[in-house]
Amino acid sequence: MTRRRRQLRLVAPGALLCAAILAILIASASSTSPSNGSRAAGRTHAARPLGLYAAVAPALHQRRIGALPAALQDAAAVSLADERVVLLGGLDQNDTSTTSITILTVGHARDDGRLPEAQHDAEGANLDGVLYVFGGGQFSSYDHILRFDPASGHVSVVGHLPQPASDVAVATLGGAAYIVGGYNGQRALDTILAWRPGENPTLVGRLPSGLRYAALAPAGSKLIIAGGSTEAGTSRAILEFDPATGRVSQIGSLPHPLTRASAASLGGAVYVIGGRGSELGSQTAAILAIDPGSGRVHNAGALVLPLSDAAVATVGEHIILAGGQSTAGTQSSIFELASAPG
């Protein structure tokens, strides 16, 4: 470096200017070019700094489109191909587990059957038009896998998890349901399970630590896992799980610790909606957008009131949000979140 500086002092001013311009262009190109190579196997990466990414996901606008038959939180929410959303179980306004199955159609809600036993803190998946509910609990955690046929309203037990698990996060990807984390009644789980109808659940990955109440959504061929509760406290981590390799990597961090939030995929981004901190009554109204490619986060709107434990599902070009818990109690409103005002 010292030798090069000496040489630069000897060049003519015009040549020096050209060299300086060339150096700036080279530095600019290197800073914007993609990194060579892939992530190391099994490596957990340090959180990337927050910031705007090239194609910022649009802010979501909220409008109320209806109300549930009764206030509800912690229900499993699954969308159908015909733009209906099914809510299964949950807690009512008295914090009592329910057996209710509610169908939402364009903001209208109707009861449509009952689960075999009351439960909450489960999650569900749509596999080939049939809905499945994984785990959940009431006075203790359940290990069942329930099948709900929207055409007949029939509910049956079709399988079992390796152990009881409430507080799970579930997402569908590549024809399989992935069950992430949870709580077995004694500790938070670090497992990622894959399940297909007619098969037994398979362990396909492990989280850095036990995790419950995480926000989960698919992004391309991977899953994005945001926040949640660990044994050490509420998490800020944004994790990426790749089913092709079984690897979990940290790709970013939330602006603040967040648990009991909801997540949904829309327009290539993962939106994390509401949630709260470790303290009761610490709900947030924030809507955050995560860029799955970079792990960066930006604010993407706000709910009309701080809310956690809401039922959320992507339907077409918008997201349906129903119920949830606010500082004023369990809610019954149904909202539509979209990138353009309704």
List the CATH number of the domain containing 192. 2.120.10.80
Q: Alpha-carbon distance 245 to 41, whole Å?
A: 8
According to the model, what pLDDT value does residue 45 have?
39
Domain-located, residue 230: yes
According to the model, what pLDDT value does residue 342 have?
61
pLDDT tens profile 146-192: 999 988 889 999 999 999 999 999 999 999 999 999 999 999 999 99
According to the model, what pLDDT value does residue 190 have?
98
Domain count within the chain: 1
Domain-located, residue 8: no
Q: What is the pLDDT of the chain when averaged over all its residues?
A: 86
What DSSP assignment string belongs to 33-89? SPPSS-PPTTPPPPPPPP---SSPPPPPEEEEEEE-SS--BS-EEEE-TTSEEEEE-
Domain-located, residue 90: yes
Domain-located, residue 56: no
**154: Cβ–Cβ under 8 A, 6 or more apart, which residues?**
113, 148
Residues 319, 303 contacting (CB under 8 angstroms): no
Domain-located, residue 21: no
Domain-located, residue 1: no
According to the model, what pLDDT value does residue 37 have?
33
Q: And the tokens for 64? A: 């109320």
According to the model, what pLDDT value does residue 106 have?
82
Inter-residue long-range contacts of 151-155, CB under 8 Å, 24+ positions, other chains counted? 153/101, 153/112, 153/113, 154/113, 155/101, 155/113, 155/114, 155/115, 155/116
Domain-located, residue 266: yes
pLDDT tens profile 76-93: 999 998 899 999 999 999
Domain-located, residue 48: no
Inter-residue long-range contacts of 201-207, CB under 8 Å, 24+ positions, other chains counted? 201/145, 201/159, 201/161, 201/162, 203/162, 204/178, 204/243, 204/246, 205/241, 205/243, 205/246, 205/247, 205/248, 206/248, 207/180, 207/181, 207/239, 207/248
* Residue ranges making up the domain that contains 90: 61-338
Residues in the chain with pLDDT values less than 70: 1-55, 342
3-state secondary structure of 213: coil
According to the model, what pLDDT value does residue 55 have?
56
